[in-house]
Amino acid sequence: MAEKLFLEVVTPQKAIVSEEVEIVVAPGSEGEFGALKGHTTFLTSLKVGTLRYKDAKGKERYLFINGGFAEVLPDKVTILAESAEYRKDIDIDRATKAKERAENRLAAKAADTDLVRAEVALKRAVHRLRIKETK
Ligand code: ATP
């Protein structure tokens, strides 16, 4: 059996994950990275994407991660995310509406629209929907 490491995923609202895992794969801003027990220590920022891990029973779990930071230590990975939710907690209607809102803002190009904000909101919504479609 693979050696375990501890995973914590924390957002400003709440702790989402706090458990022993076999492997973590996270969306680093320089590219996706994987961490197993004994990994070299490093710090990285994260982009909007999917965090997946294998829990102690070997079950694969998927979470949406809205950017943030990861600290990787040999026996622990800590993720500080702006927001995060398990695939099962993603509300499809909410993400679909957020996607439409962002698309409409980008298409209308009103003078008072913050285009970067709309693009980031669109990215979040598209990723949430993509994770929901996984498997
Ligand atoms: P919205 O415009 O619908 O609020 P958002 O991308 O701006 O979406 P965030 O700022 O990423 O939302 O998250 C705010 C809170 O709402 C977080 O707790 C996040 O987990 C939750 N959340 C946002 N969208 C969804 C969703 N589609 N399903 C479940 N939870 C969501």
Domain ranges across the chain: 5-87, 91-133
Task: Work out the average pLDDT over 69-76.
Answer: 97
- Reported confidence tier of residue 135, pLDDT bands at 50, 70, 90: low
- Ligand 1 center to 25 CA (angstroms): 22
Whether 52 has a pLDDT exceeding 90, the answer reads: yes
Q: How many CB atoms lie within 10 A of CB 65?
A: 26
> Over 90: is that where the pLDDT of 78 sits?
yes
CA of 74 to the centre of ligand 1 (A): 32
36 or 109, higher pLDDT: 36
Helices and strands in the chain, H and E counts: 2, 7
Q: How far apart are CA 17 and CA 95, in angstroms?
A: 22
How far is ligand 1, taken at its centre, from the CA of residue 40, in Å? 33
State how far the Cα of 56 lies from the Cα of 109, in Å rounded to an integer: 48
Q: Atom 18 of ligand 1 has which residue's CA nearest to it?
A: 83
Decide which of 2.60.15.10, 3.30.360.10, 2.60.120.10, 3.90.470.10 is the CATH code for 5-87: 2.60.15.10
**CATH superfamily, domain at 91-133:** ATP synthase delta/epsilon subunit, C-terminal domain (1.20.5.440)
Q: How far is CA 111 from CA 73, 108, 114, 115, 120, in A?
A: 46, 9, 8, 10, 18
Using 50, 70 and 90 to split pLDDT, how confident is the model at 127? Answer: very high
User: Would you say 72 and 41 are in contact if contact means Cβ atoms under 8 Å apart?
Assistant: yes
